[in-house]
Amino acid sequence: MTRRDLLTSTATAAITAASQSRVMGANDRISVALIGCGARGNLLLPHFQKLNNSPLTAFCDVYRTRAEQTQALAPGAKLFGDHRKLLEMPGLDAVIIATPDHWHVPIAIDALNAGKDVYVEKPLTFTMEEGPRVIRAARVNDRICQVGAQQRSGSHYIQARDEYLRTGKLGKINLVRTWWTDGGGGIGNPVRANSNPAPAAAPRPAAAVALGGHGTPPNMREKPADLDWNRYLGRARWRAWDAPQYFNFRNYRDFAGGILTDKFVHWVDAVHMFMDQDGPISADNAGGLYVAKDGRNVQDTINLHLEYPGQWICTYTNTAQAGFPREGIEFCGSQGHLRIDRTKYEYFSPERGAAPLVVECKTDLVAEHVQDFLDSCRSRKLPKGDVALGHRSAQAAHLGNLSYEQKRRIHFDPDREIVLPA
């Protein structure tokens, strides 16, 4: 049995007598807390409160003002600045983790060890090595751990997979194309923290801060007094307050994996779901920082190729490009062609000139994914976006970053999960 088999086998994930005793009824409310009160946390919050028919019970953030603003959406919820204190709350069942990437696994493992179910935003991991540790924590503690790649629960994704991939209707698939053409979260009009001479002032509510991929709220030259910068940095080396590195953490390698672990990880997760194979054997990433001149240190232009054992490749391109569909996945088969994104899927038959069959998405993908998590918390069955699946998708993105950083093609053993010598 390989290391991966040990971590992902159904035997390891089986419901134990202890977890069986925690099975809830369909209408039982789950006590849920939010850790990380930024934009993503605020997006998830109303879904959890609506679908769970209950307000969240606590909020945790290193920035007290953000936590207080989010508390307005759930009056009476308790506030914390340290997730470890939050996990001591009696009666708490589950947590949502919507922090910067470098905090995902440390907080998830603490929560799982404290007996809480976990909904953790993608990417699951900051490094490949973290994956087995968080999977083990979920399995040993008999906890549900769902990764926030919502395509896994999307009705039209499941429909397209079952209709065209599992039936073999597309024939042999040798190539899967994926892309995102907004240049990595938006490029233009950056505001550097030290370029604004105005005195610090209270920022706008988190939900109102939508300034593109590398913007900061005005008047943030000085660190807010109620923001714990040292705790935000965590394992990263210390540096003085810099607002872009807080508000735009995905653009800095000390806190995240850039575009590949932000955008691509969604698409490769869906590709794994459709192709039923999740372990690339090589990664080759060309590109660089060609467009954005705003202080970020991750790629804005990417051309990535992942090769899989089933004799097919997955490509990903990301650049600032106009006049092209913003995002999507294409499965290129010998007997047909399938294109899918979050709004619809299109099937192109092999007949020349035939109009595509178009099926629109009529559901909210995030709501479906949150519902799947809550259902799993009650039933104790593995969720659609289980932690082991999230690990493998993040792993593929990390291999892409490793290829770029080492300027070479990376060869990988997906069974032993080791990078092979050059």
Residues 6+ apart with CB under 8 A from 11: none
**Distances 334 to 75, 193, 238, 351 between C-alpha atoms, Å:** 56, 52, 53, 12
% of the chain at pLDDT higher than 90:
80
Is residue 184 predicted with pLDDT exceeding 70? no
Residue 14 lies in a domain: no
Residues in Cβ contact with 378 at an 8 Å cutoff, skipping those fewer than 6 apart: 23, 24, 25, 26, 28, 30
Instruction: Tell me what pLDDT residue 185 has.
Output: 43
Report whether 394 contacts 124 (CB < 8 A). yes
E-strand spans in 231-362? 282-288, 301-308, 312-318, 327-333, 337-340, 344-348, 357-360
Cα–Cα distances in angstroms (integers) from residue 319 to residues 148, 289, 304, 310, 376, in the given order: 24, 10, 12, 28, 37
- pLDDT higher than 70, residue 181: yes
Tally of domains in the chain: 1
Does 339 map to a domain? yes
pLDDT in tens, 242-286: 999 999 999 999 999 999 999 999 999 999 999 999 999 999 999
pLDDT digits (tens, 9 = 90+) for 64-79: 999 999 999 999 999 9
Q: Which residues contact 195 (CB under 8 A, 6 or more apart)?
A: none
Q: Please report, as a single letter, which amino acid is at residue 192.
A: R
Assigned token pair, 195: 């370029």
pLDDT for 399 equals 98
Please give the Cα distance from 214 to 308 (Å, whole number).
34
The H or E element spanning position 258 is helix 258-259
Full domain range(s) for residue 335: 153-185+257-363+397-419
| Averaged confidence pLDDT in the chain | 89
The per-residue pLDDT for 384 is 98
Q: Is residue 368 part of a domain?
A: no
Of 57, 145, 59, 58, the C-alpha closest to 108 is: 145
> How far apart, in whole angstroms, are the C-alpha atoms of residue 148 and residue 25?
24
- Give me 165's structure tokens: 């991939």
CA distance 194 to 190: 12
- Percentage of residues in the chain having pLDDT higher than 70: 86
N-term to C-term CA, the chain: 26
389 within domain boundaries? no
- Strand 312-318 relative to strand 173-180: parallel, antiparallel, unpaired? parallel
Predicted model pTM = 0.90
318: pLDDT confidence band, cut at 50, 70 and 90? very high
The 10s digit of each residue's pLDDT in 86-121 is: 999 999 999 999 999 999 999 999 999 999 999 999
Number of H helices, E strands in the chain: 15, 16
pLDDT of 2 > 80? The answer is: no
Kindly state whether residue 74 falls inside one of the protein's structural domains.
Answer: no
Asked if pLDDT for residue 203 goes beyond 50, the answer is no
**Residue 278, domain CATH:** 3.30.360.10
Per-residue exposure over 104-135, b if at least 16 CB sit within 10 Å of its own CB, e if not? bbbbbbbbbebebbbbbbbbbbbebebbbebb
Q: Which pairs with CB-CB distance under 8 Å and at least 24 residues apart come from 114-118?
A: 114/87, 114/88, 115/141, 115/143, 116/87, 116/92, 116/143, 117/30, 117/93, 117/143, 117/144, 117/145, 117/373, 117/376, 117/377, 118/94, 118/143, 118/144, 118/145, 118/146
Calculate mean pLDDT across residues 297-301.
95
Q: Count of CB atoms within 10 A of residue 154's CB?
A: 24
Pairing of strands 173-180, 327-333: antiparallel
Mean predicted confidence (pLDDT) in 282-306: 95
Domain presence at residue 322: yes
Count of all residues that appear for the chain in the document: 422
DSSP secondary structure string for all residues of 366-392 = HHHHHHHHHHHHHH-PPPTTBHHHHHH
* pLDDT tops 50 at residue 398: yes
Q: Answer yes or no: are the C-beta atoms of 30 and 379 closer than 8 Å.
A: no
Of 153-162, 176-185, 298-307, 326-335, the range with the lowest mean pLDDT is 176-185
pLDDT band at 1 (very low <50, low <70, confident <90, very high): very low
- Higher pLDDT among residues 193 and 26, named by residue: 26
